[in-house]
Amino acid sequence: MPARPELLAPAGDLERLDTALRFGADAVYVGGPRLQLRSGGVGFSMDDLAEAARRAHRAGRKLYVTVNAFPTNDELDALGDYAQALLGAGADAAIVADLGAISVMRKAAPALDIHVSTQANCLNHAAARAYWDMGATRVVLGREMTLEQIAQLRAKTPAELELEAFVHGAMCMAWSGRCMISAFLTGRSANQGACTQSCRWRYHLVEEKRPGEFFPIEEDERGTTLLSSFDLNCIDFLDQIIDAGVTSLKIEGRMKSPFYVAAVTNAYRRRVDGILSGNTAPEDLDALRRELDSVSHRAYASGFYFGEMKRHAPEDGVYLQDCAFVGVVKQRLEGGRVRVEVRNPIREGDALEVLSPHSLGLRFPAARMTDTEGQPIATASVPLSVFDVDAPEAVEPGDLLRLRLR
């Protein structure tokens, strides 16, 4: 039986952190107020980082903070104080890409573990060993590595050095995320946390002598997302990743919804536990594949784990989603009812599916919908409003509700 690996989930705010913890993450990674590679409102304040650490530690889990942008001279000067602040807030580790940043943070806060970010492009045992000698406790492997290369690296590095690898989520088309397209087209650098995801845009051709005429790159009627990569999905071969020596299994998605965090963390939690217990029933794996299909994603692929990119679906650049996230169970009421917070419209009679860490495949109809005063309603459609509905006893606060789209 392999050693128990860590399941590492993303969180863009405290709601998503709570969701990751409830659905089985052993650790959660978040961005702080400085040098994190996700802008767009997913950076925690220092107060929220401290609260996140308290919630994670109360649950017996860990909190990691991304500091993986490449700092300028001026930004580097402030990193020592920031490292001490992260340690004081309760962070268990900082995820860092830049060599200078690693050096400064190690000196300023030696008790704060350093995890070397995938942006550092660590692809070989000599680089991993060099980071270990600098004081790093973990290396997040470059996404271009095969399973065989990971096993070779593991065999030639100290056993105490932890190895982390991505197992699910969006993949940048650039080498381990070091992309210049956004900076070139928009002036917003992906390497300093301001990526506009230009690779996901739809492109057309312009012929030199016919300016202003746009010709489609033949793909489909929506244009083309020629540069857009597939989404990584390792649920089928997660056991091989563990066997190769990976000690932390990382889910991408700090900008994704609570529904994404819940569904993906839940699926991988069940898969890891199944591997450790020896339960590899095909029907269980089929159910987990359906869970991963329920969230918004591009065509799934196996990344570079087997060499060249392996595609699992014919769609290219098109977002797929089997379910819509419609509500969060907030409270268990008397009389077999629950109070639900609306995220998308729910109508009387809808066939609701329950996303829960305690059950898989539970369904019930939206019956006897009322407002909080007990007045019947036919539809609940105002985001973040609440309503009451009949529900099985197994439905608990914190469970998410969804509607199947196909």
Residue 228, by phi and psi: left (phi above 0), alpha (psi -120 to 50) or beta? beta
Question: What pLDDT, on a 0 to 100 scale, did the predictor assign at position 279?
Answer: 79
Instruction: Give the helix ranges, DSSP H, for 331-371.
Output: none
Question: What pLDDT, on a 0 to 100 scale, did the predictor assign at position 174?
Answer: 60
Whether residue 382 contacts residue 340, with contact meaning beta carbons closer than 8 Å, is answered with no
Q: 214-216 and 204-206: which strand pairing? A: antiparallel
CA–CA separation, 298 and 313 (whole Å)? 9
> Which domains does the chain carry?
6-172+230-301 (3.20.20.380), 183-189+197-228 (no CATH), 323-404 (2.40.30.10)
- Closest C-alpha to 362, from 388, 403, 394: 394
Question: What pLDDT, on a 0 to 100 scale, did the predictor assign at position 212?
Answer: 73
CA–CA separation, 122 and 132 (whole Å)? 12
Strand partners, 215: 205
| pLDDT 10s digits, 13-70 | 999 999 999 999 999 999 999 887 655 567 899 999 999 999 999 999 999 999 988 8
In angstroms, the Cα distances linking 399 to 263, 277, 325 are 11, 25, 11
Residue 73: strand, helix, or coil:
helix
CA–CA separation, 76 and 1 (whole Å)? 44
Lowest mean pLDDT among 56-60, 73-77, 159-163: 73-77
Question: What pLDDT, on a 0 to 100 scale, did the predictor assign at position 39?
Answer: 58
Question: What pLDDT, on a 0 to 100 scale, did the predictor assign at position 318?
Answer: 76
- Closest C-alpha to 353, from 322, 381, 384: 322
- Closest C-alpha to 327, from 339, 310, 311, 309: 339
Identify the residue whose tokens are 């002598």: 209
Whether residue 116 contacts residue 96, with contact meaning beta carbons closer than 8 Å, is answered with yes
pLDDT band at 211 (very low <50, low <70, confident <90, very high): confident
- In this predicted structure, the answer to whether residue 226 has a pLDDT above a threshold of 60 is no
- In this predicted structure, the answer to whether residue 249 has a pLDDT above a threshold of 60 is yes
Question: What pLDDT, on a 0 to 100 scale, did the predictor assign at position 293?
Answer: 96
Determine what percent of the chain is predicted with pLDDT higher than 90: 72
Can you spell out the DSSP letters for 126-162? Answer: HHHHHHHHHT-SEEE--TT--HHHHHHHHHTS-TTSE
Lowest mean pLDDT among 40-49, 104-113, 263-272, 297-306: 40-49
Phi, psi angle pair for 275, to nearest 5°:
-65, -45
In angstroms, the Cα distances linking 7 to 10, 24, 355 are 10, 8, 19
Determine what percent of the chain is predicted with pLDDT higher than 70: 83
Whether residue 313 contacts residue 319, with contact meaning beta carbons closer than 8 Å, is answered with no
| pLDDT 10s digits, 104-160 | 999 999 999 999 999 999 999 999 999 999 999 999 999 989 999 999 999 999 999
Residue 269: strand, helix, or coil:
helix
